[in-house]
Structure 1
Amino acid sequence: MNNPWVIDNVTILLRLLLSMLLGGLIGFERERSNHAAGLRTHILVCLGSALIMLLSIYGFADFVAEVNVRIDPARLATAVITGIGFLGAGTILFTGKSITGLTTAASVWVVGAIGLAVGAGFYFAAIVSTLLILLNLVVFNKLEQRYIRGSKLHLITVHAANTPGVLDEVSGILEEQGFVIKKLVVNERSTVPYGELQPALPMLEISLQVLTDRRFEPVEITRRIRTIGQVCMVTAE
């Protein structure tokens, strides 16, 4: 290609297809992990970034020879990076106990960079970056969970009859399991059995945020709390 400002249609097609492939590989991993931004989102971000990069480099080639016109191939690329930052922010969620979606937001942002690289013809860097990103998302994630897993917060909600000692029994079971109670909220409620003309039953709603560095087993902790006679409902997440 003698003229750096001219590109043929076949090369444009190949670059757009490659951007779809590389973005789709990362999006497929996110889709399998059931994240907010999945296969189609990553493909669209990478494809759109490649298209804008192509437009930035070759879309204004007719004005290169004009007097007092300066062509800057990076002018639209900077806007892409900024715009994708807002898209990635939409995948970050605060659930009340933790922040999730940071890795997916980072993957959306870096997929945009891969699309820009493909659009500029920087194939080797784009392919190697895709492989390194997949290594980080798949292999490093497993290593982190197995060897360097840190303490995490979990939310446990218990509905039980308002009887003396129920809170002590719940907290005792959690401490036996190695949980550290970081936050405790107790609400008193009254419920009437459905279809029965009886006085309202005094109930407690106990919400606990617990910290543990062990593997969290919702079924096991729910089973143990259910052994308390006054408990009628348990949720663990």
Structure 2
Amino acid sequence: MLGNAEMVARLVLAGAMGSVIGFERERLLWAAGLRTHMLVCVGACLFMIVSAFGFSDVLGQKNVTLDPSRIAAQVVSGIGFLGAGTILLRGEVVKGLTTAASLWAVAAIGLAVGGGLYVAGIAATILVVGILAGVKPIEESWRDRMRTHTLQLTVKAGSLSIDTLQDATGERASRVRQFVVRPGAEEGLEEVTIAFVRLSQTSVAAIAERLRENPAVVKVRLGSDR
């Protein structure tokens, strides 16, 4: 039977590991933050302790056989209701998948600590925090580069040509996906739409600044589409 001090230590350690991951979510103001992750991790740890050691007093009785993993196994499927609660459909965009996955991982960490697998629990905590905090800038940079960015220009009629655009974009001219010229709302002006692919917003903004220096350009507006 597990001693009282060891049980308390496992619960405290699980709460601490959950707080490390929860703090990263709290910092981004997600619904499932510090307290939620701590509670999930401590709860999973307690389930594991109960599953593995809570029925030791009846194991010695005749014809009594228990599976020590039966309660812990329910945590894996039971945590799904919390994960589903963090996934929201806003318009046509699904939000909260990463937070749901972090809750699922925290539950696994709690089970590991409850089972006495301290090294596995600590290693998993470090990995999860690294994935949540370290990979996010890389992911955002990649998404930014894959997004379609547009420039809306108001120019003097007949003044903006492909050659002028190539001078402004330089080596990034190959990233121009679309170049559309329409009559402007006022006489003598044209509306030009330029779409770029696989180009960061910073690079598109730099191109916009160069186009603003052209005396034929009246107005430049920057936009983006996912």
Q: Which bracket does the TM-score occupy, shorter chain normalised?
A: 0.5 to 0.7
Q: Which residue of 1 aligns with 2:134?
A: 139
Instruction: Give the superposition deviation at 1:97.
Output: 3.4
Residue of structure 2 equivalent to 1:48: 43
* Bigger radius of gyration: 2
| 1:74 corresponding residue in structure 2 | 69
In the TM superposition, residue 76 of structure 1 has moved relative to its aligned partner by 0.5
* 1:207-230 Cα distance to aligned partner (Å, 9 max, x none): xxxxx97449xxxxxxxxxx8xxx
TM-score computed with the length of structure 2 as normaliser: 0.67
- Summarize the Cα distance change of 1:37–1:150 in structure 2 as closer, same or farther, 3 Å threshold: farther
Corresponding pairs, count = 174
8 Å Cα contact 2:49/2:115 also seen in 1: yes
Letter in 1 for 2:106: V
Q: Which secondary structure state, in structure 2, belongs to the residue aligned with residue 69 of structure 1? A: coil
Residues 150, 77 of structure 1: CA spacing in aligned structure 2 closer, same or farther, 3 A cutoff?
Answer: farther
Alignment partner for residue 33 of structure 2, among 38, 50, 58? 38
Q: Which structure: greater helix fraction? A: 2
Q: Any idea what the Cα deviations from partners look like across 1:146-203, whole Å, max 9, x if unmatched?
A: 24656469xxxxxxxxxxx88xxxxx67x44649xxxxxxxxxxxxxxxxxxxxxxxx
Alignment of 1:1-237 (within 5 A): 6-147=1-142, 149=144, 151=146, 175-176=193-194, 178=196, 214-215=200-201
Q: Match of 1:13, as an amino acid? A: V
Native 8 Å contact 2:145 2:201 kept in 1: no
- In the aligned structure 1, how far is the partner of 2:68 from the partner of 2:145? 44
Alpha-carbon distance in structure 1 between the residues aligned to 2:144 and 2:34: 27
CA distance in 2, matches of 1:74, 1:142: 38
C-alpha deviations, 1:98-137, integer Å up to 9, x for none? 2111110000001000001110101000000000001101
CA distance in 2, matches of 1:91, 1:213: 32
Q: Letter of the 2:115 partner, please give it.
A: A
In structure 2, the gaps of 5 or more residues are 149-183, 186-190, 203-218, 220-224
Distance in 2 (alpha carbons) for counterparts of 1:91 and 1:152: 26
Alignment partners' CA distance in 2, 1:41 and 1:114: 14
Letter in 1 for 2:91: G
Percent of residue pairs bearing the same amino acid type: 44
